[in-house]
Amino acid sequence: MLIFKGDKLLMNEETYDFNNFERDLRFLRNSEDLPASWGVTTHWSEIDDPDGDVVASSLNAKWEDLRAVWSRFGEGPFVKAGAAFQYMNWLRLTRFCSACGGAMSPREEDKGLLCETCGRVAYAPLHPAVIVAVERDGKLLLAHNTRMPTKRYSILAGFVEPGESLEQAIEREIMEEVGVEVEDIRYFGSQPWPFPCSLMLGFTARWKSGEIHPDGAELNDAGWYAPEDFPDIPPGMSISRKLIDDFAVRMGKR
């Protein structure tokens, strides 16, 4: 059983999946058994304060960010816990049909919700986002996002808009955020990112023209950095770090 409190997951040094949880289930709310055919997790639960602190203490556990699953248990468990969170969050927000207001229930045949009144079927949303490592003369474009509480820098990313190809989204985002034109866009890899329901699609690209001018709204600083001059960058679990490390390896610096 994966136990959530908001976007925090209960875990201790040994596990994040409390299959032998034996406390009074009245402590839990929004609990629901998902069809086994969904293949994600057989049960999810959410818990309220102050009971959350009581349960955590009884299990010698803490409420922690999903990212902690990766660092403690690896990529596979992170993907499993992330998928469980996405489905939990979706089920919580999709109890009733947006077309007629009827009750929604999980389907056995696929990971969908069926409206018991009008028959409409809904599926969990995924928001595609592009993230790109832009290179220029042996240096990488890194920027500081205004929402970051630290001085950490990363490569640029943004959500794909209706009517756009992935390449068009990259070109638009880079131009909007730093005023740079790119070319030679190449696919690198992808990563599910449950914060709350994104799919990160990674690319590399090369600078074509323009000088860096951060937009001042989303980004307050940006520049070209050689691997030996990198500022604080994201941890290894993220596709942003994988793209940065790939660049450093190709530059012979890792």
**pLDDT digits over 75-129, tens only?**
899 998 998 888 888 888 899 999 999 999 999 888 999 999 999 999 999 999 9
Instruction: Look at residue 148 in the predicted model and tell me its pLDDT.
Output: 83
> Which amino acid makes up residue 193?
W
Q: What is the DSSP letter of 109?
A: S
**Cβ atoms of 211 and 222 closer than 8 Å:** no
pTM of this structure: 0.87
Q: How far apart are CA 202 and CA 130, in angstroms?
A: 6
Closest CA to 197 of 61, 36, 7, 64: 7
What 3-state class would DSSP assign to 227?
A: helix
* The two three-digit tokens of residue 152, written as one number: 């950490």
Q: How far is Cα of residue 80 from the mean position of the Cα atoms in its chain?
A: 12
